[in-house]
A and B are shown apart, each in its own frame.
Chain A
Amino acid sequence: MDFAQNTLDGLTSGAAYALLAVGFTLIFGTLRRANLAYGACILFGVYIATWVAQRSDAGLATLALVAVAACVLAGAYVERLCFAPHRERRGNQVASGAGIAAMVASFALWMQFEEAATLLLPRHMYAFPALYEGAPLALGPLSLRVEAIVLFAATACLLAVLWLVLQRSRFGVAVRALIDDPLAAGLCGIPVARVFALVFALASAIGGIAGFLVVAAHGQVTPHLGMWATLKGMLAMMIGGLGSLPGAVLGGFLLGLLESHSQWYLGPQSRDLIAYLLLFTLLALRPGGLASWMTRWTSTRSAS
């Protein structure tokens, strides 16, 4: 019974990890760059929403909108300052280190967001309006929190919408063309810079929703959210395979399950140890992650 309960809890946190990993991998898949400031943008968005919640009696939907809008704005700032100037240009000598420069610059902005957030709300923890006040549902001997159902349903909806957008819309075609070959896509008349910026906004919006759902499910906000989102998102993304959307979803759920079971049997420190051990072993043996076993399904190029 513990096993079933842990699996349920693991799937719930896995849904949040999957969203975070999808946001990370969208940016990586198109730009071939890691955005270290991703978690910090989410923190910033959620802090703005908390700030609004402290000063007004705005409803959950308004707060979600505020969080997403602030997160997208923060993401646009990161894109302009860290990624637009360091895009790969053919025949440019500087390009060899541009990926590293973009990554370190995004880390620098992480520091900015974190300090800005703590200047805005200096206490160590703030209450956030909860998604649901009642008691958890009882499914026989198992208990299922209503927030978990919401998180799960929201994740499923978002992923379905994202899939449709990428597969069916003109924008999605442009994104997939860019992922395949940025140079050829540009020659075909795809506005590369604009599509990059839009992908960034899309990923930031997903991150904003993920952040909002997580803090609303827990009913509290702490400044650790930024580091948490970055580490868990990157971990799930790398487990799934860099640049692969199905891989990111699978990686998120795998990470959630692994964490909840190892926490139950071995304690919290061993939980993190096992997650990192899995990542290290996977990278050493199979850098492509889970996606390298299912390349036929992936629409995006997996970077194995």
Chain B
Amino acid sequence: MDEYTIGVLTNIGLFSFIALSAYLLLLAGELSFGQQAFFGIGAYVGGIGTALLGWPLPLAALAAMAAGAAAQTLVGLPTLRLRGLYFAMATLAAAEMIRIVLELIHFQRVVDGALVGPDGTQGFRGIRWIFEHGIEPAAFLALVWSLLACVVLLLAWIERSRLGAVVRMVGEDPELAAVLGIDVGRLKLGVAAVAGALAALGGVLFAHVNTYVEPRNFDIMLGVHSLAYALIGGLGTVFGPLLGVALDIGALESTRLFHGYRMIVFGGVVALILVWRPRGLLDERAVDWLGRRLWRRTP
């Protein structure tokens, strides 16, 4: 594989994490415009961990995931009883506040003769852990995709369990779910915490592959893109968001087929797909159909 392909595949893997976090909230019936903030928190916490405190990457990633989960839980506590556009706007407001706070953070230190750390709007330079440890791009790609595989397998297993059915039920009809004795508020908080942790994990990996992040990376465009990925890919299965990311980054951005017109093509394709299938390409019906076909073939 050449370097370019490795870069594209790494990006698909990275953005799949934030698309999955938007997907999880959509399953629970909530539309978030704010996942980019937790991606950003992950990038900053992970970067501070490895570049400033000298932690190994796994420890920094765990800390980032904890921070992402905590942040999304805190945002979710007062807002998860809202629905639809109200929740979307509340998460957008929270995400923009977090982005502005990242712009105000100045916390630089000299490490090995170079100044690293968050420097307000100038961004956060020098997150060089994977270079210092001699990790090749191909190895990092393998790391990203094996993490993603673990997450996807775990989520696929949960989806087939009772818990998965309960989450979908809360998303479809929270009142009915509450009548059946489900603690809707706590369930949504749990989903939000997992979504925050996933977005933060994507952020850590993003920061380390780029060595440089700035608050502007985490504006509303990233958040709404992740939402669009989840929705065009499909809400029927955990593989849907991955398909959405692959469609945009893999098929349109990287082939340069529509160079200069990419957004016009992508925008039109998304709108048309949603007219045809309002819950995405791999919606519940498609997944059911596929599942039955595959089931019949295997004895």
Contact = CB atoms under 8 A, between A and B. Distances in A.
B145 interface: no
Contacts of B262: 115
Interface in A81-136: 81-82, 85-86, 94, 96-105, 107-112, 114-116, 119
A277 interface: yes
Contact of B231 (A85, A100, A112, A273): A100
Interface residues of A, number: 43
A120 B104 CA distance: 36
A276 B172 contact: no
Q: Is the interface of B mostly helix, strand, loop or mixed?
A: helix
Given A119-B261, A287-B82, 12 more contacts: A36-B224, A94-B278, A94-B279, A101-B279, A104-B227, A109-B267, A234-B89, A272-B96, A273-B100, A276-B94, A276-B100, A284-B79
B90 interface: yes
Contacts of A100: 26, 31, 231
Interface string A258-275: 000000000001001100
B84 interface: yes
Interface residues of B, number: 44
Contact of B278 (A97, A111, A238): A97
A293 interface: no
Contact of B228 (A34, A104, A119): A104
Given A28-B85, A99-B84, A105 B271 contact: yes
B267 A112 contact: yes
A111 B267 contact: yes
Interface of A: 28, 34, 36, 81-82, 85-86, 94, 96-105, 107-112, 114-116, 119, 227, 231, 234, 238, 242, 269, 272-273, 276-277, 279-280, 283-284, 287
Nearest to B278: A101
18 contacts: A34-B85, A82-B271, A82-B274, A96-B172, A101-B279, A104-B232, A108-B266, A108-B267, A112-B263, A115-B264, A119-B261, A227-B220, A242-B86, A272-B100, A283-B79, A283-B86, A284-B79, A287-B86
Nearest to A36: B224
B271 A109 contact: yes
A297 B158 CA distance: 49
A283 B90 contact: yes
A279 B93 contact: yes
